[in-house]
Amino acid sequence: MNRENSRERYDRALDVLVGGVNSSVRAAPQPYPTFVEKGDAGHVVDADGNRYVDWVMGLGPLLLGHDLPESVQAAVQRRASEGPMYGMPTELEVEHAEFLARHVPSVEMVRFVNSGTEATTSAVRLARGVTGRNKIVVMQGGYHGAQESTLVEGDAEHPGPSSAGIPQSFAEHTLPVPFNDAEAAKEVFERHGDDIACVLVEPMLANKGIVEPVEGYHETLRDLTDEHGSLLVWDEVITGFRVGGLGCAQSKYGVTPDLTTFGKIIGGGFPVGAIGGRTDLMEEFTPVGDVFQAGTFSGHPVTMAAGLETLKFAAENDVYEHVNDLGSQLRTGLEDVVAERAPEYSVVGTDSLFKVAFTRGANADRSDDNPGPRNAADVAAGAVERWNRVFRPQMLDSGVMLSQNQFESQFVSYAHTEEDVERTLDAYRSVL
């Protein structure tokens, strides 16, 4: 496969863009990233004219694939041509917020922002402002964007920054605990309960393999936060309108958080984030309350139009049936391939998320168990180099674009077809 143009563009990029990219994970593919020319339904075409089945899907936002339906296309064009933004409110923001409040159990009010990172940053500030407490509990291997309070590693008694540039004095307010470990959660609340503003948790670890919650884990976090007067904040930036359909993961798992962060799908492919929650909490944000929050581009008309029309399209068509059905076909097919070709690996994911983890959970031998990873430590034990250097490049040669590192999820869109699924399963079968 000729990738000369990608190579040449990356060579140029290395002179003017740090690492040749604008977001770190894009530089992960070996030996250089594929530069995209354009999208087409469930495929992307690269700078050399090669076509791939695309399971990256913008890292999650593209629920409908690369070709936006007529209604979305028209709304975007109209807003862009009427003047892209105003710094004054538009009805679109109201309508989008009404949609979120109507469908997501925990959401009464919304504040739109411009990225998932901004959403989690504001949610943590709100939780701290509301409770008057400083500490937050996060999951080891959880991801909440590139922000100071969550780029933290270690454990609850020894937290430290996971990036240069973050003071230890910030990191010490963040208490990382292992996902799916109810005892560790109870212990951190026994020790620090009176100082904990919130637990910030993804419904599943969706940026570190795909690790689903074990039965009862989220209920434990709900109970602990209630008992100690802390807030439960669900980061649904990736799962929102992806897992659990229009009700999001909180409706699938039947747990209602105090605050929820959104991003990705709710912008229909344009930059977006949002915080949603109960009125009494949300009204602590300025201009009603005292927790400052603002943004020049927040509620951007083009984004609001794209996001709202995407969600409306999903509500009025068989989008979730389609993506979840293909997701299930992929996972079932991959389980056969893995059983036959790589029994030391496991198939993970739910709804329209799928992945082969190059490892199994520490509990995998218990026969009634899901053999997949149960926490970040299980995921980290995966065969990363094999995935990066051998497996992914061969999948690319077979015309299948997988996630850019082993830990990102892969996403089914409404534009994908059964033929894409078959082709992908064939490629896994011959490459694994």
Candidates 114-122, 165-173, 243-251, 411-419; binding stretch for ligand PLP (CB under 6 A): 114-122
Beta carbons of 360 and 383 less than 8 angstroms apart: no
User: Is 298 a binder of ligand PLP (CB under 6 A)?
Assistant: no
What does R_g of the chain's alpha carbons equal in angstroms? Answer: 21
User: Is 131 a binder of ligand PLP (CB under 6 A)?
Assistant: no
Whichever of 55 and 345 has its CB closer to ligand PLP, that residue is 55
Near ligand PLP in 251-270, by CB under 6 A: 263
Smallest distance, ligand PLP to C-beta of residue 289, A: 24
Q: Which residues are catalytic?
A: 143, 235, 264
Smallest distance, ligand PLP to C-beta of residue 145, A: 3
Within 10 A of 159 (CB to CB), how many other CB atoms are there?
A: 20
Near ligand PLP in 331-350, by CB under 6 A: none
DSSP 3-state assignment of 353? strand
DSSP 3-state assignment of 322? helix
List 9, 79, 128, 144, residue binding ligand PLP (CB under 6 A):
144
User: Is 120 a binder of ligand PLP (CB under 6 A)?
Assistant: yes
User: Is 143 a binder of ligand PLP (CB under 6 A)?
Assistant: yes
Which residues make Cβ contacts (< 8 Å) with residue 366, sequence separation at least 6?
none
Q: What Cα–Cα distance (Å) separates residue 171 from each residue in 44, 150, 154, 207?
A: 40, 8, 10, 21
Q: What Cα–Cα distance (Å) separates residue 128 from each residue in 288, 292, 381?
A: 16, 12, 35
Smallest distance, ligand PLP to C-beta of residue 19, A: 17
Whichever of 166 and 238 has its CB closer to ligand PLP, that residue is 238
Whichever of 72 and 275 has its CB closer to ligand PLP, that residue is 275
Side chain identity, residue 394: Q
Beta carbons of 426 and 399 less than 8 angstroms apart: no
List 6, 106, 115, 404, residue binding ligand PLP (CB under 6 A):
115
Count residues binding ligand PLP (CB under 6 A).
Answer: 15
Smallest distance, ligand PLP to C-beta of residue 115, A: 4
Q: Which residue has its beta carbon closest to ligand PLP? A: 116
Smallest distance, ligand PLP to C-beta of residue 209, A: 13
Cα 371 to its chain centre, rounded Å, is: 22
Whichever of 262 and 345 has its CB closer to ligand PLP, that residue is 262
Which residues make Cβ contacts (< 8 Å) with residue 428, sequence separation at least 6?
334, 337, 356, 395
Whichever of 116 and 161 has its CB closer to ligand PLP, that residue is 116
User: Is 207 a binder of ligand PLP (CB under 6 A)?
Assistant: yes
Q: At what angle do helices 319-341 and 418-431 cross, to 10 degrees?
A: 20
List 65, 69, 116, 141, residue binding ligand PLP (CB under 6 A):
116
Which residues make Cβ contacts (< 8 Å) with residue 234, sequence separation at least 6?
106, 201, 202, 203, 249, 250, 255, 257, 259, 260, 261
Which residues make Cβ contacts (< 8 Å) with residue 320, sequence separation at least 6?
245, 246, 314, 351, 352
List 117, 303, 310, 406, residue binding ligand PLP (CB under 6 A):
117
Backbone φ and ψ for 207, nearest 5 degrees, come out as -115, 10
Candidates 28-36, 67-75, 202-210, 224-232; binding stretch for ligand PLP (CB under 6 A): 202-210
List 202, 351, 378, 420, residue binding ligand PLP (CB under 6 A):
202
Whichever of 6 and 260 has its CB closer to ligand PLP, that residue is 260
User: Is 145 a binder of ligand PLP (CB under 6 A)?
Assistant: yes
User: Is 149 a binder of ligand PLP (CB under 6 A)?
Assistant: no
Whichever of 25 and 41 has its CB closer to ligand PLP, that residue is 25
Cα 1 to its chain centre, rounded Å, is: 31
Smallest distance, ligand PLP to C-beta of residue 136, A: 14
Whichever of 17 and 339 has its CB closer to ligand PLP, that residue is 17
| CA dist., res. 83 & res. 329, Å (int) | 43
Contact string (CB under 6 A) for ligand PLP, positions 220-249, x = contact: ---------------x-xx-----------
User: Is 250 a binder of ligand PLP (CB under 6 A)?
Assistant: no
Beta carbons of 261 and 255 less than 8 angstroms apart: no
Q: At what angle do helices 319-341 and 301-316 cross, to 10 degrees?
A: 80
Assess whether the previous peptide bond of 203 is cis (omega < 30° from 0): no
169 half-sphere exposure, CB direction, 13 A CA radius: 0
Which residues of this protein are in contact with ligand PLP, per CB under 6 A? 115-117, 120, 143-145, 202, 206-207, 235, 237-238, 263, 273
